[in-house]
């Protein structure tokens, strides 16, 4: 059974960098066939996708977040990570990591982490 688990600080100060890691079990990131993604949900609001990354490092970023965003993969640890710089209170949200199954004309997120709340506050 594939499982994803987010980890990282639950509290980040404004202007600092938010860093989260997703540890994958039950599947090898480097086996290919899947992309790995970060999605967030502001309190009581909808979902926003940061983008997704392949085990080779090929990545696609949400244009609205691209200037502050870095995603990376560590195949030796079977993890992938998110870094979001210059955070503000507007970045307070539940952050999910997810696995994306992508076909020629379709995709979907088939496994998700449980989510981790990150609060931006001084």
Partner 1 sequence: QSVLTQPPSASGTPGQRVTISCSVSSSNIGSHTVNWYQQLPGMAPKVLIYSNNQRPSGVPDRFSGSKSGTSASLAISGLQSEDEADYYCAAWDDSLNVVFGGGTKLTVL
The residues facing 6 across adjacent strands are 22
Among 79, 80, 92, 113, binds partner 1 (CB under 8 A): 113
Among 62, 70, 75, 78, binds partner 1 (CB under 8 A): 62
Cα distance between residue 22 and residue 37, in whole Å? 9
Q: Spell out the residues 6+ positions from residue 114 whose beta carbon is closer than 8 angstroms to its own.
A: 5, 6, 96
Cα distance between residue 118 and residue 88, in whole Å? 11
Identity of the residue, 15 or 64, whose beta carbon is nearer to partner 1 in the bound complex:
64
Q: Which residue has the tokens 């560590």?
A: 74
The span of 7-15, 16-24, 72-80, 110-118 binding partner 1 (CB under 8 A) equals 110-118
Residues making contact with partner 1 (CB under 8 A):
37, 39, 46-49, 51-52, 60, 62-63, 96, 98, 103, 105-110, 112-115
């Amino acid at each position: 059974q594939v499982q994803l688990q987010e980890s990282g600080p639950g509290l980040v100060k404004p202007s600092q960098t938010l860093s989260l890691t997703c540890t994958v079990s039950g599947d090898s990131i480097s086996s290919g066939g899947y992309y790995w993604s970060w999605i967030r949900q502001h309190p009581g609001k909808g979902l926003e996708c940061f983008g997704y990354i392949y085990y080779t490092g090929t990545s696609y970023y949400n244009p609205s977040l691209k200037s502050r965003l870095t995603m990376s993969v560590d195949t030796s640890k079977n993890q992938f990570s998110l870094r979001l710089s210059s955070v503000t209170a507007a970045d307070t949200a539940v952050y999910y990591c997810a696995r994306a199954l992508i076909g020629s004309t379709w995709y979907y997120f088939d496994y998700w982490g449980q989510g981790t709340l990150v609060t931006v506050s001084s």
